[in-house]
Each structure stands twice: as C-alpha cells, then as structure tokens.
Amino acid sequence: MSGHKGQVVGYARVSAADQNEARQLEAIGEVDRLFSEKVSGKSTDRPQLQEMLAYVREGDTIRVKSPDRLARSTTDLLGMVERLKAQGVALEFVDNPALNTETPQGSFMLTILAAVAELERATIRERQAEGIAIAKAAGKYERGPKLTSEQIEEARERVAAGVPKARVARDLGCSRQTLHAALSGAGKYAPLAAA
C-alpha cells in the first residue's frame, strides 16, 4: 500500500458504569475512522481494539481521550506503545498530551513509566519471594498436614511400643520434625489432635 497518507484513527471505550461516549467523541474530534468499544461489566474482550490494531498502518495516528481508555494497566499501555511504534503508528492522548509518542516529552514520560512498571513488578516478585520464605520458615507453605490421623495413631502406638521415632518417621516418609509435630498436635496437626 505505497503512498499511504497517514490517517487519524479514533478509539473510544465506554464501560457500562460510565456511558460518557459523547464526551470521549467530542474530545477525539474529527477522525478518518472511529472504533468505539462498549464494554460490559467484567468482560475483558475488546474486539474493536483488536480490529483497530489490525487496521492501522505505518504513518497513521491513533487518537484517544486518555490512556485509561486504551489500556487497562501501565504494562498493557507500554506493550501497546511498543507494538505501535514497531508498526510506525503514533499515539495521541487528548487529555494527556505529555504522553504522545511522537514528542520527545512523550518518549521520556513513557520511558519513566516503563521504569516504574518494571520496579513495581520487581517489588511484587520480591514481596512474593519474601512471603514464601517467611511462610516456609513458619512451616506454613507445605500443602496441609503430611500425615493422616490414622498414620498418627499408628505412629503413636509404635512409639509407645518402643520403636525409635527416627525409624517411625522414616517408615512414614516424613521428617522427625513432622512426626514430632504430629505426635504433639502442634502447628497444622492441632486440628487432627483435637479430632
């Protein structure tokens, strides 16, 4: 499609909660082609967005009222910016001109946003890792008690009969700590001991 004159393509998204399509369309103004999405409730399907992304060509500009109309999250927005940049398509936000991809300020702002999103992801990963480490240290991360109440009963009888705990634990395929917790009704074995 050589000699393609860049088009201005508008995108509006209205959720059931805020039926303000007129305001969005007014903000977007005159465009060559408009894609308008009506999203209901929890649906994450955005067929008009997909159609628009397939429609735009190099040299086109997508005009949206604000970033939150186009993307659901910072990561989502950055992914879209990257994809459009690779296609040679510009993004213009009427309410947030500082994020327009064709301006040096826009590129700078998006770089900062990307850094913030990356930091956020790293922080979440670190927090998850810390949470798991703390849970493991507290013995909460294993999935439920390893031994059934029948096994605990059997272990109790064997220990009472003088069988070394280490051997009982080995036969049950658990650690001595687990056996000890089970016999004393500690931690996650408390409900079983009470049963």
Residue 141: inside a domain: no
Residue ending a domain, choose from 69, 93, 117: 117
> Is residue 129 domain-resident?
no
Structure tokens at 85: 């940049």
Catalytic: 15?
yes
Mean predicted lDDT score pLDDT of the chain: 84
| pLDDT level of residue 18 (50, 70, 90 thresholds) | low
Q: Which of 72, 97, 117 is the last residue of a domain?
A: 117
Strands of 90-93's sheet, edge to edge? 33-39, 8-15, 61-64, 90-93
Same domain, 13 and 109: yes
The dihedral through the CA atoms of 122, 128, 134, 136 has a sign that is negative
Mean pLDDT across 175-189:
82
pLDDT digits (tens, 9 = 90+) for 109-129: 888 888 888 888 888 888 888
Q: Tokens for 8? A: 């201005």
* Residues 78 and 24 placed together within one structural domain of the fold: yes
Domain boundary among 94, 117, 140: 117
Q: What is the pLDDT of residue 19?
A: 66
The Cα diameter of the chain in Å comes to: 92
pLDDT of residue 1: 44
- Confirm whether 130 is domain-assigned: no
Residue 40 pLDDT class (50, 70, 90 cuts): low
pLDDT tens digits, 125-145: 888 888 888 887 777 665 666
Within-domain flag for 101: yes
Q: Identify the active-site residue in 15, 66, 107, 149.
A: 15
Q: Which residue has the higher pLDDT, 1 or 187?
A: 187
